[in-house]
């Protein structure tokens, strides 16, 4: 795993679908997450169902999901950001911390993780 310092003033977005993949939240919480996302200027909130946990991040990002359950139960709530600017990411995280929503495991899609199944990423984040 690698870490990169976030420049909270940088508005430049990496190439790719600008979205947040969301797993483990109720419909009501999804509405709140989507409102927070909209405040940041990010493009989309993409709910990930338990039936899609066996899909890779790339498959989910390209809307090529199918029912591929994951072999382990994932009990954590997860937010995975794809192609956010540093400013968008920092703004969302600050809003999220004060939202009252339950804590989440948080990641940003990387060149390595894009080929992982969502469930595998969830397990790795949980460690």
* pLDDT tens digits, 23-82: 999 999 999 999 999 999 999 999 999 999 999 999 999 999 999 999 999 999 999 999
Do 108 and 92 form a contact (C-beta atoms < 8 A)?
A: no
**How confident is the model at residue 42, as a pLDDT?**
97
Q: Which residues contact 113 (CB under 8 A, 6 or more apart)?
A: 57, 107, 121
Do 32 and 101 form a contact (C-beta atoms < 8 A)?
A: yes
Quick check: 109 pLDDT over 70? Answer: yes
Query: Distance (Å, rounded) from C-alpha 2 to C-alpha 28?
Result: 33
What percent of the chain has a predicted confidence (pLDDT) above 70?
94
What percent of the chain has a predicted confidence (pLDDT) above 90?
88
**How confident is the model at residue 15, as a pLDDT?**
86
């Amino acid at each position: 795993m690698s870490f990169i310092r976030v420049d909270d003033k940088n508005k430049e977005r990496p190439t790719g679908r600008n979205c947040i993949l969301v797993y483990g939240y109720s419909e009501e919480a999804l509405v709140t997450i989507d409102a927070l996302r909209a405040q940041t200027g990010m493009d989309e909130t993409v709910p990930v169902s338990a039936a899609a946990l066996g899909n890779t991040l790339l498959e989910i990002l390209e809307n090529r999901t199918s029912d591929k359950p994951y072999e382990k139960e994932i009990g954590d709530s997860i937010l995975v950001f794809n192609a956010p600017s540093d400013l968008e990411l920092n703004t969302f995280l600050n809003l999220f911390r004060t939202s009252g929503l339950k804590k989440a495991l948080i990641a940003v899609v990387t060149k390595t993780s894009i080929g992982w199944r969502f469930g595998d990423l969830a397990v790795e984040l949980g460690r």
